[in-house]
Amino acid sequence: MSNNSQQTMQAIQINEYGDSSVLELANAPIPTLESNDVLIKVHASSINPVDWKIREGYLASMIPYEFPVTLGWDVAGEITELGADVTGWSIGDQVYSRPDIGRNGTFAEFVAVHADEIALKPKTLDMNHAAAVPLAALTAWQSLYDFADVKAGERVLIQAGAGGVGSFAIQLAKVRGAHVISTCSTKNVEFLKSLGADEVIDYTKQDFSELRDIDVVFDTLGGEELSKSWQTMKEGSRLVSIVEPPSDEEAAKHGVKVGFVFIQPDGAQLKELATLIDDGKVTVTVDSVFPLKDVAAAQDKSATNRAKGKIVIQVI
């Protein structure tokens, strides 16, 4: 079923790996649907670090793309077509998703997404804010809930709390009743407190490695910050990274359970997130909005790691 008569669409694509100059605004075929897909008319997407890491070729060995590649893995929009086996959804439904990263991306006018990977967007959010949620919030959810299983009263350290993932992580840990400690620069201290952080460490003035008795570390930075995390943790605690696999040797030495999370699409979790958002338990912060043609500038801004919340790409 379809109400779509277009044959081609605008999309941001790459034909080679490289810096933001390889991004091109191109005419591309509208995706064809598999039997369990829906076609979404994209209203908005958002920038995630994985976008420019894929663009630069960092994940080429893990995800074997064929050029041209359409980037982008957040979407909020409207269903315009249903695959033959799709049930429970209707044309016109307003949905959001983090689609399968191995398929066509969302920096485009249309995207085909498996029906299991979508949920109705939060009623209280416009499309731009809804597009800021899926990848970052699912990353925090799957790290803190699925892997670490954060519990009430636990001391949770969240690195880089002002970013897209960090800002959701603070709020999701608070939903569980945790005592949240998070790091940021001076300008974002009050922002993190407004998200619910119980303690905020300004990394320009204080070293988080002085902390002790941490139950869960959520590492969003890797490198030196990950290395300094071990001494903050008590035996039996959990460390989860979204940047690099933590050292099994260090984990054994400190008696810590470790994990590396590369998130998976999950419509059911997005449905639960929409409820938390509509109930006012999770808020969404948009740093800035760029049009589709300016994805390069938006990715360059993301790569500075200075955005507060999410950078949105408005397609409509």
For the chain, how far is it from start to end, CA to CA, in angstroms? 23
Give me the residue spans of the domains in the chain.
8-133+284-314, 136-260
Interacting residues of 98 by C-beta distance below 8 A, sequence separation 6+: 73, 74, 75, 117, 134, 135, 138, 263, 265, 266, 270
pLDDT confidence of residue 5: 65
Locate tokens 């080429």: which residue?
60
CA of residue 171 relative to chain centroid, distance: 14
- Give the span between the Cα atoms of 6 and 174, in whole angstroms: 45
Structure token digits, residue 80: 């315009």
pTM: 0.96
Domain 8-133+284-314 CATH assignment equals 2.60.40.10? no
Q: How does pLDDT run across 181-202, given as a tens digit for each residue? A: 999 999 999 999 999 999 999 9
pLDDT confidence of residue 62: 85
Question: Is residue 4 over pLDDT 70?
Answer: no
pLDDT more than 90, % of the chain = 92
CATH fold label, 136-260: Rossmann fold (3.40.50)
Q: How does pLDDT run across 34-57, given as a tens digit for each residue? A: 999 999 999 999 999 999 899 999
Question: Is residue 153 over pLDDT 90?
Answer: yes
- Give the span between the Cα atoms of 150 and 142, in whole angstroms: 11
Burial class (CB in 10 A: 0-12, 13-18, 19+), 281: middle
